[in-house]
Chains A and B, each alone.
Chain A
Amino acid sequence: MKLWQKIFLWTLLIVMVAISSIEILLLKSNFNETIEKQTESYISKHAYMVSNINNKILTRRMQSDSIILSRNNVIEIIREIFEGSGTTSSTVVALFSDVNQILYTNSLIELDMGLLEKVVTNNSEAIASNSSISDYYTQLLNIDGKTRLFVASIVTFEQQDLIFVTSNDISDIFASYNHQLRYAKFICIALSLVCSIILLILVKFLLRPLEYLNRTTHAIASGNYSQRINVKTHDELGMLADSMNIMADSVEENVSQLKEVAENRKEFINNLSHEMKTPLTSILGFADIIRIKRNITAEELSDYSSIIFDEAKRLKNLSGKLMELITIGETNLEFIEIETTELFSQIDLLMQPIMKNNEMLLETSCDNCIIRVDLELFKSMLLNFIDNAVKASSKDSMIQLKGNFAGESFTICIIDTGIGISKSELNKITEPFYMVDKARSRKAGGAGLGLALCKSIAEIHEADFKILSEINKGTTVKLSLKATPVPNPEPSSDTKKGV
């Protein structure tokens, strides 16, 4: 069963029970009160009749000048009272001398002997002691579909204890009660109907966000991760929607990250296979030509075999770089503290022969401080950057290697005035296998992995690295990492070396 149905039915049930029980209780107490009042009024009427009879007996006694009237005289008087004058015909009167012996009645209605017995037994003591009796006994009885109220009492007429009973029809009270009950039922049903309609609309309206929530969640679950739940209420549903949105956010983020990783991996493998196939094609082709061709000349043979050698070397280079890239984070890194001037002079020493070959100038300047690096990796990264600068520059140009210590960080700049890199290429150059100028890079034996490696090394050293470049004006590589000052500060050394 759905939640809205449950809420609706339970609420309806409780409301109906509450309304009807309150109605019934009210009616009941009202009815009881009425009955009580009626009973009281009939009792007083009964008492009045008794005193009336007594009066008549007194009068008769005086008229007939006798001390005591006979029982028959008393009955006569009673008959006169109830039949002669215009007494209310609805009142039935009966006079008993004993339970079984009726002395007088003005009606044919069968009187309840039980009531009489009760009156007699309960008052036997009182009768015995001859004291005056003022207790009245009442009982409601259904006779011929009518409800009658019987009032009985012991009366003493002319020293005789008799039972005097009056009975009145009070069916109209019951009829009015039943009528009210029916009316209450009708009201209860009508009220429930109105309540149920209002409830239905209310529940539906309040729970409407749930349905929307459900639909949207389904959509998200089935892969539409960008979908969000737009519930603006401030109740629990709104809170739930907010939580679900947060969940969807993180799911979407994770999924897109996973997708990106998968995409990158696919791209990487595609590029790798391309980079491997290119030298392989030359190797396979030339090797096969040497194998199958008759009359191959010595010149061709040396030409072809040197191409095979070069391409095989390229493959070797590629596989080496690839292994480096893959294992870079896994190998045991050995972080040591080194003074930057020491590092720069080592770099300078390593670069000198290359600078000489290319007829270029390397200018280094450095503030001395201490950095924590894996020396081999860090050096290979710097050499790679300088090597790139050399490749981009023409003869007789100058490459600057600068180190600045400021605050807590050491910034290394490698500045060249070479061909530069266009903006659109800048974002891609750190991607594996990306080469700005394929032909040139291939000739230089590049695999397109250099900057990707540098990026990984920079990441290991938690160094920020940026490449700024402008076509035909040159490129600046900026690398900054954490540094500490040298314990015994020496004046910053400026070295200038060149060819």
Chain B
Amino acid sequence: MIKILIVEDDENIAKMIQATVSMSGYEPHVCHNGTDGLERINSGLYDLVLLDIMLPGLNGFEIISNRQNHTPIIFITAKQDVSDKVTGLKLGAEDYIVKPFEPVELLARIEVVLRRYHKNEQLLTYRDIAINIDEHTCRQGDAFVSLTPKEFELLVFFIRHQDMAISRSQLLSSIWGYNFEGESRTVDIHIQQLRKKLGLKNVLITIPKLGYRLNSEAEDDTTFRNED
């Protein structure tokens, strides 16, 4: 399992990040000050570090310049100055995310970084669907299903974010790289194709006003929330 270290002094934010990363199945570890954080990064036990800049003890910039290994680091900070961003990236951070942020956005950024470090799993399974990311293949049972590149990426994104409602704009920015809303028809068409090709009609469901969600198991009444 992917281990993520969260170095954040505000308890509630740390808790929120913890809840966010565990939604994607990562293993979160939290520490609240800079000195502790640096020590734990140097232990080399983590696959990724989410690092605040304003920290008691050592600040984020000091930590990144004093670390002894190359654990990928994403800065999470309330500072919005471009100069801070540049400083952070120059010091070797993988990415820079400004508070406040949406949890899915954080997950998407984490994924990009993990992919860059080849740390995310290359073989994904969902029910009877098996995906090999390296080979870009998708099998259902024994049969190969042919998917367009965007359909493939969309499927991978949903399998990685099961049981999470994803908005169309998030899908657009994560998969199509668009930073604006408006092409949401494109998303809808691809979702329909996925449902049709893989028979996901009951599990890849539409959430009104939100977007789409891939359920890990078929909809039943055990959940206390009543969807639709």
Contact surface of A with B, Cβ cutoff 8 Å: 273-274, 277-286, 288-289, 291-296, 298, 300, 304, 307, 310-311, 438-439, 442
Identity of the chain B residue whose Cβ is nearest the Cβ of A292 in the assembled complex: B165
Binary contact readout B203-228 vs A (1 if CB under 8 angstroms, 0 otherwise)? 00000001001010000000111010
Given contacts A285-B16, A286-B12, 13 further A-B contacts (CB under 8 A): A274-B78, A277-B100, A281-B16, A281-B78, A281-B101, A282-B10, A282-B13, A283-B100, A285-B19, A292-B210, A296-B225, A307-B16, A438-B9
Q: How far is the CA of A304 from the CA of B18 in the complex (A)?
A: 12
Asked if A293 contacts B164 (CB within 8 A), the reply is: yes
Asked if A289 contacts B80 (CB within 8 A), the reply is: no
Asked if B16 contacts A289 (CB within 8 A), the reply is: yes
Q: Does B31 contact A (CB under 8 A)?
A: no
Binary contact readout B166-198 vs A (1 if CB under 8 angstroms, 0 otherwise)? 100000000000000000000000000000000
Identity of the chain A residue whose Cβ is nearest the Cβ of B223 in the assembled complex: A295
Q: Does B44 contact A (CB under 8 A)?
A: no
Asked if B223 contacts A294 (CB within 8 A), the reply is: yes
Known A-B contacts A273-B80, A439-B9; A285 and B17 likewise in contact (beta carbons under 8 Å): yes
B19 proximity list for chain A (CB < 8 A): 285-286, 289, 300, 304
Number of interface residues of B (CB under 8 A): 34
Asked if B99 contacts A288 (CB within 8 A), the reply is: no
Identity of the chain A residue whose Cβ is nearest the Cβ of B33 in the assembled complex: A439
Q: How far is the CA of A274 from the CA of B52 in the complex (A)?
A: 12
Asked if A278 contacts B223 (CB within 8 A), the reply is: no
A interface SS class: helix
Q: How far is the CA of A296 from the CA of B79 in the complex (A)?
A: 32
Subset of 22 A-B contacts with CB under 8 Å: A273-B78, A273-B80, A280-B99, A281-B10, A281-B16, A281-B100, A281-B101, A282-B16, A285-B20, A285-B100, A285-B101, A285-B103, A286-B16, A286-B19, A288-B104, A289-B16, A289-B23, A293-B163, A294-B225, A310-B12, A311-B12, A438-B56
Identity of the chain A residue whose Cβ is nearest the Cβ of B207 in the assembled complex: A292
Asked if B78 contacts A294 (CB within 8 A), the reply is: no
Q: Does B109 contact A (CB under 8 A)?
A: no
Asked if A292 contacts B78 (CB within 8 A), the reply is: no
Q: How far is the CA of A3 from the CA of B43 in the complex (A)?
A: 78
Binary contact readout B49-90 vs A (1 if CB under 8 angstroms, 0 otherwise)? 000001010000000000000000000001110000000000
Q: Does B29 contact A (CB under 8 A)?
A: no
Asked if A294 contacts B213 (CB within 8 A), the reply is: yes
Known A-B contacts A285-B103, A439-B9; A294 and B165 likewise in contact (beta carbons under 8 Å): yes
Of the candidates A284, A291, A442, which one forms a contact with B100 in the assembled complex, judged by CB atoms under 8 Å apart? A284
Q: Does B15 contact A (CB under 8 A)?
A: yes
A284 proximity list for chain B (CB < 8 A): 100-102
Asked if A291 contacts B210 (CB within 8 A), the reply is: yes
Q: Which of A280, A288, A439, A442 has the most CB of B within 10 A?
A: A288
Q: Does B32 contact A (CB under 8 A)?
A: yes
B32 proximity list for chain A (CB < 8 A): 439
Smallest beta-carbon distance B175→chain A, Å? 17
Q: How far is the CA of A285 from the CA of B9 in the complex (A)?
A: 16
B163 proximity list for chain A (CB < 8 A): 293-295
Q: How far is the CA of A294 from the CA of B224 in the complex (A)?
A: 10
Asked if A292 contacts B13 (CB within 8 A), the reply is: no
The 8 A-B pairs of least Cβ separation, nearest first, read A285-B16, A292-B165, A294-B163, A277-B78, A282-B12, A281-B100, A281-B99, A284-B100
Known A-B contacts A274-B79, A277-B78, A288-B102; A294 and B215 likewise in contact (beta carbons under 8 Å): yes
Q: How far is the CA of A96 from the CA of B9 in the complex (A)?
A: 140
Smallest beta-carbon distance B106→chain A, Å? 8
Of the candidates A274, A293, A307, which one forms a contact with B54 in the assembled complex, judged by CB atoms under 8 Å apart? A274
Identity of the chain B residue whose Cβ is nearest the Cβ of A276 in the assembled complex: B78
B227 proximity list for chain A (CB < 8 A): 294
A282 proximity list for chain B (CB < 8 A): 10, 12-13, 15-16
Q: How far is the CA of A280 from the CA of B223 in the complex (A)?
A: 29
Of the candidates B10, B78, B210, which one forms a contact with A442 in the assembled complex, judged by CB atoms under 8 Å apart? B10
Q: Which of A283, A285, A300 has the most CB of B within 10 A?
A: A285
Known A-B contacts A280-B99, A285-B17, A439-B32; A292 and B12 likewise in contact (beta carbons under 8 Å): no
